[in-house]
Amino acid sequence: MLSEYLLAEMNRLGAQDALPLHRQLYEALRRAMLDGKLGAGERLPSSRDLAEDLNLSRNTVVAAINQLSVEGYLASRVGSGTYVNDHVPRSALARGPRAPGQAPQHQPARLSTRGHALAHSFSAGALEVQPFTPGIADFSAFPLTLWQRLQNKHWRMTYPDMLDYNTSGGYAPLRRAIADYLRVFRSVQLDADQVIVTTGTQQSLELCARLLADHGDTVWVEDPAYWGAMKAFIATGLAVHPVAVDEQGISPTPADDARPPRLIYVTPSHQYPVGAVMSLARRHQLLATARTHGAWVIEDDYDSEYRFSGPPLSSLEGLDPDGRVLYMGTFSKVLYPGLKLGYLVVPKGLIEAFRQAHYDLNRPGQMPTQAALAEFIEMGHFASSLRRARQTYAERRHCLLEALRPVLGDGPDAPRISGAEQGLHLCLRLPLAVDDQALARRLAQQGLTVRPLSAYCLQRQDLRGLVIGYGYAALEEIKRCGPVVAAAVRQAIPN
């Protein structure tokens, strides 16, 4: 009987979710129609009879029936009753097997090839915020009280246009502050009009990919590669071509030139993940290669703020005479990740196109937050936060290097450190015979999240190591956990 089916469904729903009774009845009746228990055109019992059979109030029954009628599942006929709508689709479960000669059933929905690649490749969700997680900064020291005061100030002063979308590429004082900072500290040649304020690196990458390349165009990426860039390029339909990285940065060969790029993505200040700093000669070579192929260069300068030894090299953009380098950065590593503000510096000839596309695709906003950040920078708080962070991270870096020193060696196959001069992570390079993925799993069992270097490789099979972050690890944790990593490495190296 229908009432028995409805009671069983309502009991099941009530056990699973704390749904009100009218919603339970609504879901049970809807399922009965979709599964064929109530066929198209079939008359429903009266609300009075249903209320009596189900031991519910009539108001509860009427509420469920009214909702189903509004959504088109039921149709009322004056003087006749309530009937199942003739157009209610039946679920696949109710259709049963297909008879010979019957039209085939629809194929099940599935992800696209691109969607499958995005869903099943490396995810940042695998990197829990634990000691040695790479790519994570310590935002616990952020001056939250000051930040709240600035935000509250701009919310109180907010004009109506500050609550609307922004069409100019970002809040003008923030764009000026970013331009002044980059001009002085990173030797970027720019005007404030060239700055596009984005929600961070991923949005900047997607804008570049969508505006500067067509579906199927080739993008050169470093191998090993930053996973976030890989996902952005896959999502925009580009053909990713890995180019090997050596101690001086990306190193194209004649075989790579046979796959001419439309875009070249690089992290020259501190290659992610091995930490190589692109040499001056290699920078000029890369710009010449881009000129030859008519390609755009995307310079991701994501952690250039943290350099602990030696003078910082100028930006790649600052060496570009042709206006083919797009420069990007983010505030996530200096302030806090949830701020979700970054910037993209585009050549002058691209300003209007990028502003228009940014508006049409992303509907940018957050003007009060941008205003607070502009004042935060102008008042010197950004610079002071950066100085404090550099000192803190330098201490953590030194402590981690000391903890790993006992397993390092001088031989060609001995463990060594790369990328420790800058950034918030270092790479412990290991002999090829070491299974770095198994080693990372063993450390995970001890509560330490490190990333195997081989997991970042696209085509290369010649790299083994551990990518170890120290941004989120307190000194006490590094002193405690650093020797644990060293001991695990020592055990993993074949005698």
Q: Does 305 lie in the same domain as 196?
A: yes
Q: Are 442 and 377 found together in one domain?
A: no
Listed residue (341, 478, 493) closest to 416, CA to CA: 493
**Strand-by-strand arrangement of the 416-418 sheet:** 416-418, 425-429, 465-469, 451-452
Model pLDDT for residues 80-108, shown as the tens digit of each residue: 889 888 777 665 444 445 555 555 555 66
Residue 105 lies in a domain: no
Same domain for 413 and 486 = yes
The answer to whether residue 134 sits within a structural domain is: no
Q: What's the CA gap between 29 and 73, in Å, rounded?
A: 10
Residues 157-209: tens digit of each pLDDT = 767 777 777 778 899 999 999 999 999 888 888 999 999 999 999 999 999 99
CA distance 32 to 93: 12
Q: Is 132 a member of any domain?
A: no
> Is 309 a member of any domain?
yes
Residues 439 and 379 in one domain: no
Residues 271, 355 within the same domain: yes
Beta bridge partners of 82: 76
The one-digit pLDDT tens for each residue of the chain (495 residues) are 788 888 888 888 776 666 788 888 998 898 888 888 888 888 888 889 889 888 899 989 998 988 888 888 888 887 788 988 877 766 544 444 555 555 555 566 777 777 777 776 655 544 445 567 676 666 677 778 888 888 888 888 767 777 777 778 899 999 999 999 999 888 888 999 999 999 999 999 999 999 999 999 999 999 999 988 999 999 999 999 999 999 999 999 999 999 999 999 999 998 999 999 999 999 999 999 999 999 999 999 987 788 887 666 778 998 999 999 999 999 887 787 788 899 999 999 999 999 999 999 988 888 889 999 999 999 999 988 888 888 888 999 999 999 999 999 888 788 999 988 888 889 999 999 999 999 999 998 888 889 999 999 999 999 999 999 888 778 888 999 999 999 999 999 987
CATH number, position 411 = 3.90.1150.10
In the structure encoding, which two tokens stand for residue 206, read together? Answer: 């997607």
CATH of the domain at 35: 1.10.10.10
**Could you list the residue range(s) of the whole structural domain that residue 459 is in?**
390-492
Instruction: Check: CB of residue 355 under 8 Å from CB of residue 166.
Output: no
Under 8 Å between Cβ of 405 and 426: no
Last residue of a domain, one of 384, 402, 434: 384
Per the domain annotation, does 315 fall within a domain? yes
Same structural domain for residues 50 and 184? no
- Among 39, 69, 94, give the residue marking a domain's end: 94
CATH of the domain at 321: 3.40.640.10
User: At which of 342, 368, 384 does a domain end?
Assistant: 384
Distance, in Å, from the CA atom of 325 to the CA atom of 333, rounded to the nearest integer, reads 23
Question: Could you tell me if 189 and 173 lie in one domain?
Answer: yes
The reply to whether 108 falls in a domain is no
Domain tally for the chain? 3
Same domain? For 478 and 355 the reply is no
